[in-house]
Structure 1
Amino acid sequence: MDIVVLIGRILFSVLFLSSAVGHLTQSKAMAQYAGAKGVPLPQISVLTSGVLLVLGSLSVLLGVWADLGCLLLVAFLAPTAVLMHNFWSETDPQARQTEMVQFNKDIALAGAALMLFAFFAHTGDLGLTLTGPLFTLA
């Protein structure tokens, strides 16, 4: 089971790590897009979300308080879904569909991260991690 959980952590983290690289290396372009979407303080928001992505994904990947890492990813995903993929305000049908897919992806990933949080916090000893969980769920 330890190897399966490790493989799952690796696969789950790759998406967020690659996104973090984009947030931190292309922050100016991403801030322009975020600003166009109405995100307040777009440059700070992009950099902050990049840091959340790095910390959350590395935490899950390395197994260093992976439960906390999952919560950091939820803290990124939920606002991103609402602020960046507000499909309900799109008038163009193709743009609406694209934003709805992205919104649903972010919400589904947030749900997966919450389930992982519960798994890590409840199980305690997952093996192949550098630390145990920070939180404990009975």
Structure 2
Amino acid sequence: MLPPTITDEDDGADSTVEVVSDSLEKPYEGSSSIGRCDGDYFAWKSRRKSTDAPDGGGRLMGNLTDRLSASGLGRALFGSVLAFMAFDNFRDLEGSIGYADSKGVPEPETLVPFSSGMLLFGGLGIALGRFKRLAPGAVVSWFVAVTPQMHDFWNMEDDQREGQQIHFLKNLIILGGAFYFLANENED
């Protein structure tokens, strides 16, 4: 049996694609290149381009095209809003501590600045495409801990219930986005 013949329009080796088929005389559309093979088996290395990953393949938001893509803008907007929320907590730290204390948070003088720092880290990490597991993990942890404690609308009087329910649901939406980033990110 003759060894398979591989024609590849793109050199380079970052990721490996294995193809096993009886009929390989057709184009294989891999990460970013197209090749042909005649034979029963081959392992082929194809080059991954920065456009294969929404964040530019692990670089700081990739190139300009990646930053201006829908996913790059979504990442920047989502992370920036989280960072703004954290800065807002720091800006009115005494008010945030007082509110947390009124909700029965233990050690609010310690936990409020710590959790706000956690949210800031997570927001900036998501916005910049860095710490791809740790940043969304910090945001998920923050919202899981904070949302039911601070926006317990089920314990509120009728005049406060609707506002707290809106904040609770808003936090659930943000938590869902953070879970998406946590589940769909690959480390650098």
TM-score w.r.t. length of structure 2: 0.61
Number of equivalenced pairs: 122
User: How far is the alpha carbon of 1:111 from its aligned partner?
Assistant: 1.4
Select 1:103's aligned residue among 140, 146, 168: 168
Select 1:79's aligned residue among 145, 148, 151: 145
- The higher-RCO structure (CA 8 Å, 6+ apart) is 1
Whole-Å separation in 1 of the counterparts to 2:72 and 2:131: 14
Q: Is the 8 A contact 2:80 2:124 kept in 1?
A: no
Classify the secondary structure of the residue corresponding to 2:106: coil
Give the AA of the match of 1:19: M
Identity fraction in percent: 26
After superposition, the CA RMSD in angstroms is 1.5
User: How far is the alpha carbon of 1:66 from its aligned partner?
Assistant: 2.4
Select 1:89's aligned residue among 155, 160, 169: 155
2:77 matches 1:11: yes
User: How far is the alpha carbon of 1:52 from its aligned partner?
Assistant: 0.6
User: Which segments of 5 or more consecutive residues in structure 2 lack a partner in the other structure?
Assistant: 1-53, 55-65
Whole-Å separation in 2 of the counterparts to 1:45 and 1:95: 25
Which structure shows the bigger proportion of residues in strand conformation? Answer: 2
What is the aligned partner in structure 1 of residue 97 from structure 2?
31
Which structure shows the bigger proportion of residues in helix conformation? Answer: 1
User: How far is the alpha carbon of 1:67 from its aligned partner?
Assistant: 2.7
